[in-house]
Amino acid sequence: MALQMFDLKGQRVLITGSSQGIGFALAKGMAGAGAEIVVNGRDLAKISAAATELRADKATVHELAFDVTDHDGVRTAVDSFEGATGAIDILINNAGMQHRTELQDFPADAFERLLQTNIASVFHVGQAVARHMIDRGAGKIINIASVQTALARPGIAPYTATKGAVANLTKGMATDWAKYGLNCNAIAPGYFDTPLNAALVADPEFSAWLAKRTPAGRWGNVDELVGAAIFLSSAASSFVNGHTLYVDGGITASL
Q: Which residues are catalytic?
A: 159
Q: Which residues contact 84 (CB under 8 A, 6 or more apart)?
A: none
- Amino acid letter at 163? K
State the CB neighbour count (10 A cutoff) for residue 133.
25
Cα–Cα distance, 74 to 83 (Å, whole number):
14
Contacts of 163 (CB under 8 A, 6+ apart): 118, 145, 146, 148, 149, 188
Alpha-carbon span 189 to 23, nearest angstrom: 12
3-state SS, 1-29, equals CHHHHHCCCCCEEEECCCCCHHHHHHHHH
